Amino acid sequence: MKRKQTRGNAGSAKGKATKREQQAALEPNAPFQKNEEVTVDLIGLTHDGEGVGRAGGFTLFVQGGLPGETARVRVMKLKKQYGYARLEELVQSSPDRLQPPCDIFKECGGCQLQHLDYAAQLAWKRQSVVDNLKRIGKLQVAGEDGHADAGIVVHDTVGMEEPWRYRNKAAVPVGAGDEGKLIAGFYARGSHRIIDMNDCLIQHERNDEVVRVVKRIARELRIQPYNEETGQGVLRHVMTRTGVESGEVMVVLVTNGGRLPRQPEWIEQLRAQIPGLKSIVQNVNSQATNAIFGDETRVLWGSEVIYDELDGIRFAISARSFYQVNPAQTVTLYRKAVEYAALTGKERVIDAYCGIGTISLFLARQAGHVYGVEIVPEAIADARRNAELNGIANATFEAGPAEVVMPRWRKEGIEADVIVVDPPRKGCDPALLDTILALRPERVVYVSCNPSTLARDLRVLEDGGYKTVEVTPVDMFPHTVHVECVVWMVSKD
Ligand code: SAH
């Protein structure tokens, strides 16, 4: 193996003279050199789940390290203020450390926290919400910094009793393994190298079974796996979703180009081998892109949707719709959102970023009227169908960007007593926050999958006259670093 020896960065500025500042920026302040072995104390976890180590006043990120541990590590990469090191040996291990139950935990990028006891995962997720509220939101949290009572109440993270096999959806890349054999599994951590996988401990068993069946059929029918480098081959991804409550299954084959060779055999064999199969869909993605789906979707057999149920409400879900992946915890999350909305039957409620109308319909059962808005037109078609399916007449939906549709509603005289938002990771659009402040609902319920953009947006709403009362983190994604929470805000007026 070739090993590059660097002594600090001295001598790296070969050839053309670099500007002094640039050079200073490259000069690590580390008290050690690349490839050196050092002992570090691990004091935290980054939002990616890497251990944060301190040695000689310098920060080293250590994949696999846990807070409270002392480890011998090898320095792999140095920047000016921090570096990356490889865990060599634990000198002192954490009482919260576990043997990860999954064999491929180290290689796979899917889970990041399997080596951490579940109760400790939940505590870490709560703390990460608290830290974001304080650092980014400049908000006061009860129980922190000597404020015993005053400030936002951040509850304990609501965890799962059985935090395994919870995912209702799998999307696995297909490629060629040794001797061109078709494989499907996961991308090795931080790369696009596909590793074959037959069993994923956070997937519903039905999803694992579907992936195994699809692989078997593809091999038998001699389907060419897609090759990312050359752009050749047919099968790119298998996506499968199962209604955990209903038992219904959808299989989506993502192909490079519109032709799926041996389509009749595919349909016959999938139907014969997958219990509960209701829908076979093909999606065409011919672009050299990291996106899983292309624009063209067609039903090869069966229904365009599968059905599932959450808390007694039925939902039709199509291939491209957003639908929460952990249904058990979704019910907990939505019930908490409804509780924070504090509805009495009269209220007008806006559900922004409503997807297929899931939260909207939970709210509609207790509200006067719910207005849902969502950017994906297909999702809005599903939302309307879902309202009808459940005989819910007091919910109306509109497709479009929330930050455009809501100001228009306001001009049309639509008022809101409560506004619920559930934006993607990047948080709310500033124009949408302005509209909330202009509509001045009594309560705002913010459902967030990203504590840092949440904290940023709460600051804007606080400055605009709202007070954050409570936050409940709900663990939607056990063993991963993802943190979801529901926030209750009230108008200060
Ligand atoms: N509340 C839903 C969906 C939440 S995911 C549920 O729990 O199932 C976030 C949703 O926001 C996605 O459906 C996405 O398509 C939608 N979205 C993204 N940007 C948007 C925008 N600018 N305006 C409206 N919806 C948007």
Q: Are residues 190 and 306 in the same domain?
A: yes
Beta strands in 3-145 (DSSP E): 37-45, 51-55, 58-62, 70-78, 82-92
Q: Is residue 30 part of a domain?
A: yes
Dist CA 103 CA 197 (whole Å) = 11
Residue 265: predicted pLDDT: 98
Our answer to whether residue 354 is catalytic in this structure is no
- Ligand 1 geometric centre to CA of 421 (Å): 9
Domain shared by 268 and 331, yes or no: no
Q: Is 162 exposed, middle or buried (0-12, 13-18, 19+ CB in 10 A)?
A: exposed
Categorize the per-residue pLDDT at 13 as very low, low, confident or very high, splitting at 50, 70 and 90: very low
Query: What is the torsion angle, in degrees rounded to the nearest 10, for the CA atoms of residue 185, residue 190, residue 191 and residue 195?
Result: -20
Domain identity same for 266 and 209: yes
Q: How many structural domains is the chain composed of?
A: 3
Instruction: State the distance from the centre of ligand 1 to the C-alpha of 351, rounded, in angstroms.
Output: 10
Helix (H) or strand (E) holding 256: none
What are the tens digits of pLDDT across the range 68-77?
999 999 999 9
User: Given pLDDT bands bounded at 50, 70 and 90, which one contains residue 30?
Assistant: confident
**Closest protein CA for atom 21 of ligand 1:** 401
Distance 419 CA to ligand 1 centre (A): 14
Give the DSSP letter of residue 17.
Answer: P
- pLDDT, tens only, 36-83: 999 999 999 999 999 999 998 899 999 999 999 999 999 999 998 999
Asked if 294 and 354 sit in the same domain, the reply is no
Q: What is the CATH number of the domain that holds 199?
A: 2.40.50.1070
From the CA of 449, give the closest atom in ligand 1: 5
How many A from CA of 435 to the centre of ligand 1?
A: 17
Please tell me which residue in 102, 108, 428, 449 is annotated as part of the active site: 449
pLDDT reading at 10 higher than 70: no
> 198-238 pLDDT, tens per residue?
999 999 999 999 999 999 999 999 999 999 999 999 999 99
Q: What is the Cα–Cα distance from 30 to 33, expressed in whole angstroms?
A: 7
Do 418 and 460 reside in the same domain of the chain?
Answer: yes
Of 316, 312, 356, the residue nearest 331 (C-alpha): 312
Pick the residue whose CA is nearest to atom 13 on ligand 1.
Answer: 355
| Domain contains 254 | yes
Tell me: do 280 and 342 sit in the same domain. no
Q: How far apart are CA 212 and CA 197, in angstroms?
A: 9
Rounded Cα distance between 313 and 392, Å, is 10
Mean pLDDT taken over the chain = 93
Residue nearest to atom 11 of ligand 1 (CA): 353
Specify if 412 maps to a domain.
yes
Mean pLDDT, rounded, for 393-402? 98
DSSP lists the bridge partners of residue 369 as 348
Q: Is 358 part of any domain?
A: yes
Backbone angles phi, psi at 339, to 5 degrees: -60, -45
Q: Can you tell me which atom of ligand 1 is nearest the CA of 401?
A: 23
Distance CA(184)–CA(175), nearest Å, equals: 6
Query: Are 50 and 2 contained in the same domain?
Result: yes
Assess whether pLDDT exceeds 90 at residue 489.
yes
- From the CB of residue 415, how many other CB atoms can be counted at a distance below 10 Å? 11
Mutate to test the pocket of ligand 1, among 293, 358, 375 (most ligand atoms within 8 A of CB): 375
At 345 the pLDDT is 97
Q: What is the pLDDT of residue 18?
A: 52
Q: Report the C-alpha gap between 278 and 259 in whole angstroms.
A: 22
* Same-domain pairing of 252 and 387: no
Residue from 332, 353, 397 to probe ligand 1 pocket by mutation (most atoms less than 8 Å from CB): 353
Name residues contacting ligand 1 (CB within 6 A).
322, 324, 353-355, 358-359, 373-376, 379, 401-403, 422-424, 429
Position 124 in a domain? no
Classified as helix, coil or strand, 470 is strand
Q: Tell me which residue has its CA closest to atom 19 in ligand 1.
A: 375
Domain boundary among 53, 82, 97: 97
Element spanning 153, H or E: strand 153-154
Asked, for residue 84, whether it belongs to a domain, the answer is: yes
Q: Which one of 310, 337, 366 terminates a domain?
A: 310
For residue 37, the enclosing domain spans 1-97
* pLDDT value, residue 190: 81
Record the pTM.
Answer: 0.91
User: Which ligand 1 atom is at minimum distance from the Cα of 330?
Assistant: 7
- Ligand 1: residue of 321, 374, 422, 454 to mutate (most ligand atoms within 8 A of CB) is 374
- Residues 305, 439: Cα–Cα separation, whole Å: 36
Cα–Cα distance between 283 and 258 in angstroms, integer?
Answer: 8
Same domain, residue pair 272 and 330: no
Residue 138 belongs to a domain: no
Q: Are 458 and 405 in contact (CB under 8 A)?
A: no
Q: 51, 42 in Cβ contact below 8 A?
A: yes
Q: The domain spanning residue 29 has which CATH number?
A: 2.40.50.140
Asked if the model's pLDDT at residue 472 lies above 50, the reply is yes
Please indicate, yes or no, whether residues 190 and 288 belong to a single structural domain of this protein.
Answer: yes
- 315 within a domain of the structure (yes/no): no
| Ligand 1 centroid – CA 424 distance (Å) | 6
**pLDDT recorded at residue 9:** 38
As a whole number of angstroms, the distance between CA 374 and CA 357 comes to 9
Whether residue 281 is found in the same domain as residue 369: no
C-alpha 433/C-alpha 489 separation (Å) is 13
Q: Which candidate, 320, 327, 395, 333, places its Cα nearest to that of 360? A: 395
User: End of a domain among 279, 310, 341?
Assistant: 310
Q: Are residues 360 and 441 in the same domain?
A: yes
Rounded Cα gap, residues 254 and 260, in angstroms: 9
CATH number for the domain that contains residue 444: 3.40.50.150
User: Which pLDDT belongs to residue 7?
Assistant: 34
pLDDT of the residue at 3 = 36
Ligand 1 center–CA 356 separation, angstroms: 9
